[in-house]
Structure 1
């Protein structure tokens, strides 16, 4: 099963933090919904999931198999809750999915990356800068420096640029 880590980053490389004064870019939200629909699923951390539901983003995700990774919460109505990245992938494999979309939370992203469980990266770079923020941290010895191959890049509109990478595969770049 192919695993795809999806994130929106700022122009200076931080995770794009959204809130009432800086809502997420609609182009990035639409792109996430399209990727989630295509995969039929997504894996998310508990806090990110709670933020998604509080913002009213749940409607666009109807019919998608949502897997929440949490070490503290054991049950959330309407979704599957597991305790680790490996449990999330095992659940989706057992259901017959060909791809898993890893959607959110810096801790969750870093757990998947640190365990070598990511095949592809999709970064939507938003046209904003943030003075502080969360970063992707690859902090295990084997993943301190990792080459990636550009698969594709395209504009999503309104200044949002998407970069699509493969980890550990040599491919030819597709321009959209």
Structure 2
């Protein structure tokens, strides 16, 4: 199964932090929905999923297999809980998916990367600068990827661009 990591970043490389005062760029959210619908699923951490629900964006994702990956989450209606990246992927594979979309957050992204479970990365870059926020941090001693290859670069509108990379192993 191909695993695609999707992340919205700021122009200075931080994870784009959204809030009611600073909602996600519509072009970035539209790209996420497009990617999730193409895969038929997405995997997400508990806090990121709760933020998605609070922002009212879940209706665009009806009919998708949603897997919340969390060691401590309690049952959540309409989603499957997985305790590890491997468990999440095994569930989606059993459901017949050929690709899995990995969305936020940073800890979850790093868990998949460190386990060597990411085949492609999609970065959607928003035209903003943020002084605080999370970075994609990789433990250099555990991380084994060597190269990424740019597959595509395209504008999404509103100054938002999408970069798509294949991950070398």
Look up the SS of the partner of 2:103 in the other structure. Answer: strand
> Are the counterparts in 2 of residues 114 and 140 from structure 1 also a CA contact under 8 Å?
no
Look up the SS of the partner of 1:47 in the other structure. Answer: helix
CA distance in 2 between partners of 1:101 and 1:113 (Å): 13
> Are the counterparts in 2 of residues 39 and 101 from structure 1 also a CA contact under 8 Å?
yes
Which shifted more, 67-76 or 142-151?
Answer: 142-151
Unaligned runs of 5+ in 1: 170-176
* Ranges of 4+ aligned residues in structure 1 off by more than 4 Å: none
CA distance in 2 between partners of 1:72 and 1:160 (Å): 34
With normalisation by structure 1, the TM-score equals 0.93
CA distance in 1 between partners of 2:165 and 2:141 (Å): 21
> Are the counterparts in 2 of residues 138 and 144 from structure 1 also a CA contact under 8 Å?
no
User: How many residues get paired?
Assistant: 169
| Residue deviations 1:54-75 (CA, integer Å, cap 9, x gap) | 1100100000000001111141
Unaligned runs of 5+ in 2: none
Counterpart position of 1:152:
152
Q: CA RMSD in A?
A: 1.3
Counterpart position of 1:7:
7
